[in-house]
Amino acid sequence: MSGDLLARQPVTSLKGVGAALASTLLRLDIRSVQDLVFHLPRQYEDRSRITPIGALRTGLSAQVEAEVQLADIVMGRRRSLVVRVQDGSGQLTLRFYHFNMAQKEKFVRGARLRIFGEARIGAAGIEMYHPEYQAVSADMPPPSDTLTPIYPVTEGLTQLRLRPLVAQALTRITAHNLPDWLPAGEARGWSLADALRYVHAPPRDADRVALVAGRHPAQQRLAFEELVAHQLSLLKRRAEIRAQQAVALPPAGALHQRFLQALPFPLTGAQTRVLAEIATDLRSPQPMLRLVQGDVGAGKTIVAALAACHALEAGSQVALMAPTEILAEQHALNFTRWFEPMGIRVALLLGRLGVKARREINTAMADGSAGILIGTHALFQDDVQFKHLALVIIDEQHRFGVHQRLALKQKGEHGDIAPHQLIMTATPIPRTLAMSAYGDLDTSVIDELPPGRTPIQTLVLPGERRADIVERIRAQCLAGKQAYWVCTLIEESDQLQAQAAEATFAELQVALPELRIGLVHGRLKSAEKIAVMQAFKNGELQLLVATTVIEVGVDVPRATLMVIENPERLGLAQLHQLRGRVGRGAEQSFCVLLYQAPLGQLGRERLSIMRETTDGFRIAEKDLELRGPGEVLGTRQTGEMAFRLADLLRDAPLLPAVQDAARKLLAERPADAQALLERWVAGREHYARV
């Protein structure tokens, strides 16, 4: 037997844990004694000593002993019970919003109280809201000599009940049932057992500020181990993929040449380099798994089309998946224009297609008469069968969930033969994050924009300037330019978004009667969406009012002005994507961020970054700094990066060493690596599949 034996001891083997408590613990995903040991505190309280009021620090909870001076009911915005206490070093105000008269009566002048709460700055100086308190008496328990851990709990399970259970679980740890899989040299001076014991019960003089922030060396030791385990799961997944077979695609010849010759421009150096990397992968009998990052407008579509040439020339099929119908339609138009003259049929599969049209497409893919299938997630939800799918291209992958990507890949699998995968994203992922989020993928970066682009000028203006902006749109459009007006809403609801856009559309039609204005949002039928986009692309519409459905991929080079309403509601990465819809030609483009005043400090800082730079990587770094990894990777992926205690942003400095340690462990002690992975990632492993 291998692995952690402690994981095989059920919680019911602990004293005092019966079936009822076990099922409550299950709600916290705690099944084994080991799960308890890894159930780590979120917070710490210091009940080990009495802190003089004069030494309280705001934001930290502390225990004080003090004498009641007065108790009063104050009628403010909300009625509150205010109790003033003092201990000789200072005064403290206790404030209760929920209270009863009996409670007030107990705060008699001169009574001595032991009080526990978090110190804050309030209207009356230092205050505690709803502190715990009790009268000082002779039979009070002696103060503990360690900090008190505060655990994540659930209904029916209190801290008081959980604490002794964890303490009991800790006594079960032995070198035999919870070994140090990490070599001592990598363990930063702590054995696993010592680090765990420390974080569950730090001595009273421990650095509590560091502990609360997760920066204590004992916690960093654990975070390091967790990150190594996560990295191992990515390496392992990578190895699994490498172990599969793929159809080796010979270097493309005639088709590739014809495609390049038909292009009205030469490829950029970066496009050429990335294509060479892709071609090398495709030649191999192992499946390619390559992530291509390229900022908005870098020219990823052409790269996808040229990659497709390799498969098509070998007589195989290509699937291209896009996150929105608008983008799928746009790709279908481009690919049809490029490939049909060469005799390759392109099919477009949309969610709302009729039965007959769908059957027709299915037949064409199954008998191989169509070479390229383009669509949204309908591609894998459906019963589409391919004759010979050799390459899967996923555009704007950050918009898809993990499972969708895996499902499409499985379509191409015949026994052990897997399709090659090309994954494209415009979300620039800061390097530190990429190493941990996409460790299973090879990465290429298109780090150069096509020549002749003029950088977009971004203006940040308050909503009061709306009328000026409308005038500006009138002038620009009458001068032959095109513009977007983007309505944002925090709600994800299509319906609310559509309503907001409809209202703006109506309003702008009144304000700008001389302009041809279109409206596009997620509630339109696909045919309607497509018609509106097409009319805008052809220049029949001058102004397009849209929701964020146009965020990804849409390419209308003649549009040079974009207004984004309430940009403060969106993440920086999303704003950057949206803004990338303009600035696609040689002409000067403008983006107006029309915010709702007043903006907070953070809001101002964020929007000014958008004004200062059009470099997606810098914007993403900043977003990461201001909002954390969940926001940068997109909400869909937040849950997929669920760590017990590691934090990619905080622990970024550990990542290079994490990578080294993981690689070394896997090479030198594969069984230990597997055990470590199971310790931290087991059951969560599917999350690691990006």
Amino acid at 65: E
Closest of 316, 322, 346, 342 to residue 334, by C-alpha: 346
Residue 577 contacts ligand ADP per CB under 6 A: no
For residue 305, give the DSSP letter. Answer: H
Closest distance of CB 451 from ligand ADP, Å:
7
Residue 425 contacts ligand ADP per CB under 6 A: no
- Angle formed by the axes of helices 217-242 and 655-668, nearest 10°: 60
For residue 150, give the DSSP letter. Answer: E
Six token digits for residue 116: 């526990």
Please identify, among the stretches 34-42, 273-281, 294-302, 465-473, the one whose residues bind ligand ADP according to the rule CB under 6 A: 294-302
Residue 296 contacts ligand ADP per CB under 6 A: yes
Closest distance of CB 656 from ligand ADP, Å:
29
Closest of 450, 454, 461 to residue 566, by C-alpha: 461
User: Among residues 300 and 521, whose Cβ is nearest to ligand ADP?
Assistant: 300
Do residues 441 and 423 touch, judged by C-beta distance below 8 A? Answer: yes
User: Among residues 71 and 582, whose Cβ is nearest to ligand ADP?
Assistant: 582
Q: Residue with the closest Cβ to ligand ADP?
A: 299
Instruction: Say if residue 598 is preceded by a cis peptide, omega within 30 of 0.
Output: yes
For residue 267, give the DSSP letter. Answer: P
User: Among residues 199 and 620, whose Cβ is nearest to Mg ion?
Assistant: 620
The site for ligand ADP, by CB under 6 A, has a size of: 18
Do residues 89 and 54 touch, judged by C-beta distance below 8 A? Answer: yes
Closest distance of CB 300 from Mg ion, Å:
5
Binding partner of 317, given Mg ion, ligand ADP, none, CB within 5-8 angstroms per partner class: none
CB atoms near residue 305 (< 10 Å): 21
Closest distance of CB 597 from Mg ion, Å:
34
Closest distance of CB 258 from ligand ADP, Å:
17
User: Among residues 419 and 553, whose Cβ is nearest to Mg ion?
Assistant: 553
CB atoms near residue 109 (< 10 Å): 10
CB atoms near residue 557 (< 10 Å): 16
Distance of alpha carbon 385 from alpha carbon 410, whole angstroms: 11
Binding partner of 143, given ligand ADP, Mg ion, none, CB within 5-8 angstroms per partner class: none
CB atoms near residue 176 (< 10 Å): 8
Q: Where are the alpha helices (DSSP H) in 243-299?
A: 254-262, 269-283
What is the residue whose two structure tokens read 């804050």?
120
Do residues 64 and 121 touch, judged by C-beta distance below 8 A? Answer: no
Closest of 401, 395, 429 to residue 640, by C-alpha: 401
User: Among residues 52 and 557, whose Cβ is nearest to Mg ion?
Assistant: 557
User: Among residues 179 and 553, whose Cβ is nearest to ligand ADP?
Assistant: 553
Distance of alpha carbon 216 from alpha carbon 218, whole angstroms: 5
User: Among residues 334 and 638, whose Cβ is nearest to ligand ADP?
Assistant: 334
Binding partner of 408, given Mg ion, ligand ADP, none, CB within 5-8 angstroms per partner class: none
Gyration radius from the chain CA atoms: 30
Closest distance of CB 13 from Mg ion, Å:
55
- What φ, ψ does residue 375 adopt, rounded to 5°? 180, -175
Residue 222 contacts ligand ADP per CB under 6 A: no
User: Among residues 300 and 529, whose Cβ is nearest to Mg ion?
Assistant: 300
Binding partner of 330, given Mg ion, ligand ADP, none, CB within 5-8 angstroms per partner class: none
Binding partner of 557, given Mg ion, ligand ADP, none, CB within 5-8 angstroms per partner class: ligand ADP
Residue 300 contacts ligand ADP per CB under 6 A: yes
Binding partner of 267, given ligand ADP, Mg ion, none, CB within 5-8 angstroms per partner class: ligand ADP
Please identify, among the stretches 4-12, 292-300, 382-390, 628-636, the one whose residues bind ligand ADP according to the rule CB under 6 A: 292-300
User: Among residues 175 and 276, whose Cβ is nearest to ligand ADP?
Assistant: 276
| 526-534 contacts, C-beta under 8 A, 24 or more apart | 526/325, 526/329, 526/350, 526/351, 526/352, 529/325, 529/326, 529/329, 530/325, 530/326, 530/329, 533/326, 533/329, 533/330
What is the residue whose two structure tokens read 């030198």?
668
SS3 365: helix
How far is the CA of 561 from the CAs of 330, 368, 481, 547, in angstroms?
20, 43, 8, 16
Burial of 479 (0-12, 13-18, 19+ CB in 10 A): exposed
Distance of alpha carbon 18 from alpha carbon 547, whole angstroms: 54
Closest distance of CB 422 from ligand ADP, Å:
13
Residue 323 contacts Mg ion per CB under 5 A: no
Among 131, 287, 294, 428, binds ligand ADP (CB under 6 A): 294
Among 246, 289, 292, 302, binds ligand ADP (CB under 6 A): 302
User: Among residues 348 and 519, whose Cβ is nearest to ligand ADP?
Assistant: 348
User: Among residues 202 and 553, whose Cβ is nearest to Mg ion?
Assistant: 553
Closest distance of CB 581 from ligand ADP, Å:
9
Please identify, among the stretches 118-126, 220-228, 272-280, 298-306, the one whose residues bind ligand ADP according to the rule CB under 6 A: 298-306
Closest of 396, 424, 417, 419 to residue 408, by C-alpha: 419
Question: β-pairing, 442-446 with 420-425?
Answer: unpaired
Among positions 262-301, residues that touch Mg ion (CB under 5 A) are 300
User: Among residues 453 and 644, whose Cβ is nearest to ligand ADP?
Assistant: 453
Q: Is the dihedral of CA 195, 197, 201, 203 positive or negative?
A: negative
Among 375, 428, 553, 629, binds Mg ion (CB under 5 A): 553
**Residue-level length of the chain:** 690
Binding track, positions 247-266, relative to ligand ADP; x by CB under 6 A: ------------------x-
Per 3-state DSSP, what percentage of the chain is helix, strand, and coil (rounded to 5)? 45, 20, 35
Distance of alpha carbon 64 from alpha carbon 613, whole angstroms: 50
Please identify, among the stretches 163-171, 295-303, 319-327, 460-468, the one whose residues bind ligand ADP according to the rule CB under 6 A: 295-303
At CA 398, angle to CA 584 and CA 448, rounded to 5? Answer: 35
Binding partner of 298, given ligand ADP, Mg ion, none, CB within 5-8 angstroms per partner class: ligand ADP
Six token digits for residue 534: 């097409």
Closest of 121, 163, 142 to residue 63, by C-alpha: 142
Closest distance of CB 37 from Mg ion, Å:
47
Among positions 60-89, residues that touch ligand ADP (CB under 6 A) are none
User: Among residues 32 and 397, whose Cβ is nearest to Mg ion?
Assistant: 397
Binding partner of 268, given Mg ion, ligand ADP, none, CB within 5-8 angstroms per partner class: ligand ADP
The site for Mg ion, by CB under 5 A, has a size of: 2
Please identify, among the stretches 67-75, 436-444, 523-531, 548-556, the one whose residues bind Mg ion according to the rule CB under 5 A: 548-556
Among positions 449-478, residues that touch ligand ADP (CB under 6 A) are 450
Residue 297 contacts ligand ADP per CB under 6 A: yes
Among 143, 557, 603, 628, binds ligand ADP (CB under 6 A): 557
Closest distance of CB 322 from Mg ion, Å:
8
Six token digits for residue 570: 């969106």
Please identify, among the stretches 226-234, 358-366, 470-478, 552-560, the one whose residues bind ligand ADP according to the rule CB under 6 A: 552-560
Closest distance of CB 380 from ligand ADP, Å:
22
Interacting residues with ligand ADP (CB under 6 A): 265, 267-268, 271, 294, 296-302, 426, 450, 553, 555, 557, 584
Site of interaction with Mg ion (CB under 5 A): 300, 553
